[in-house]
Chain A
Amino acid sequence: QSALTQPASVSGSPGQSITISCTGTSRDVGGHNYVSWYQHYPGKAPKLIIYDVTVRPSGVSDRFSGSKSGSTASLTISGLQTEDEADYYCCSYTVGRTLLFGGGTKVTVL
């Protein structure tokens, strides 16, 4: 099964908002509301920042928000900060009862 489609890179200046898209199919993203997003600093363990499309775990900044339309999910980072520079991955539960990750997006703060 092919990975979900994410842009390879997204950049923005401090204080700006950026949005990362995650496109799948009706067998994954479009089929239910189990889309999650992870922040990953290289060499560290990834961190869950959004689950069930829109839910932020306790302790995650409200600058992170998630949404979905059809088979495309999105992660928006508002008020971009230097510490947001990391890799971001979307992930979806699938009809095959598996998880499927996106290819990852490198966020650069200019």
Chain B
Amino acid sequence: EVQLLASGGGLVQPGGSLRLSCAASGFTFKSYTMNWVRQAPGKGLEWVSAISGSGGSTFYADSVKGRFTISRDNSNNMVYLQVNSLRAEDTATYFCAKGPPNLNPLYIDVWGQGTTVTVSS
């Protein structure tokens, strides 16, 4: 069974940073694109970032480009999202999500439970 366990969320001041982590299991991790998707309170889903299986290709939404960095550790089946220069509008639940075995983020086939980031002074 595929499992995705996200962690690292919390309360942070505007301008602050956090590193979100996602532990994956139940599949050949290095073969699959991984994503982060967020949902602000009362709002819809927003795709944030993706990384190819090898880690050689990364993709970002315009809203986070230059502030967020996605990375992965295929030895330990982990994917990370470094979130810097946080703004109030980054407050959301962040879902770790698995994509198909393709270089590009074509869709998401499995979602984790999410970790909550709150940006407030």
Using a CB–CB cutoff of 8 Å, the interface residues on chain A facing chain B are 1, 3, 34, 36, 38, 40, 45-48, 51-52, 57, 87, 89, 91, 93, 97-104
Interface size on B, residues (CB 8 A): 24
B107 CB-CB contact with A under 8 Å: yes
CA–CA, A98 and B62, complex, Å:
9
Bound together, the chains give a CA A93 to CA B35 distance in angstroms of 13
Most buried by A among B35, B60, B106, B112: B106
User: Which 7 A-B pairs rank lowest in CB-CB distance, beginning with the nearest?
Assistant: A36-B107, A99-B47, A104-B44, A45-B111, A101-B45, A51-B107, A34-B106
Shortest CB–CB separation between residue B45 and chain A, in angstroms? Answer: 5
Contact between A38 and B45, CB atoms less than 8 A apart: yes
The residue from A36, A57, A99 contacting B50, defined by CB atoms under 8 A apart: A99
Tell me whether B109 and A89 are in contact (CB under 8 A): no
CA distance A36 to B97 in the complex (A): 14
Please report the C-alpha to C-alpha distance between residue A103 and residue B40 in the assembled complex, in whole angstroms: 12
Q: Mark B78-115, 1 if CB is under 8 A from A, else 0.
A: 00000000000000000100001000111111111110
Docked CA distance A48–B60 (Å): 21
List chain B residues, Cβ under 8 A from A93: 104-107
The reply to whether B106 and A48 form a contact with Cβ atoms under 8 Å apart is: no
Report which B residues bind A (CB closer than 8 A).
35, 37, 44-47, 50, 59-62, 95, 100, 104-114
Q: Which residues of A contact B111 (CB under 8 A)?
A: 45-48
Q: CA separation between A36 and B109, bound complex, in Å?
A: 9
Residues of B within 8 A of A57 (CB): 109
Residue from B50, B95, B106 in contact with A45 in the complex, judged by beta carbons closer than 8 Å: B95
| A52 to B106 alpha-carbon distance, docked (Å) | 9
On chain B, the residues within 8 Å of A98 by CB distance are: 47, 50, 59-61, 105
* Cβ of B92 to closest chain A Cβ, rounded Å: 13
Give 8 new A-B contacts, CB below 8 A, not counting A45-B111, A101-B45: A38-B108, A48-B111, A57-B109, A89-B44, A91-B45, A93-B106, A93-B107, A104-B44
Pair A99/B105 contact, Cβ less than 8 Å: yes
Chain B residue numbers with a CB within 8 Å of A51 are: 100, 106-107, 109
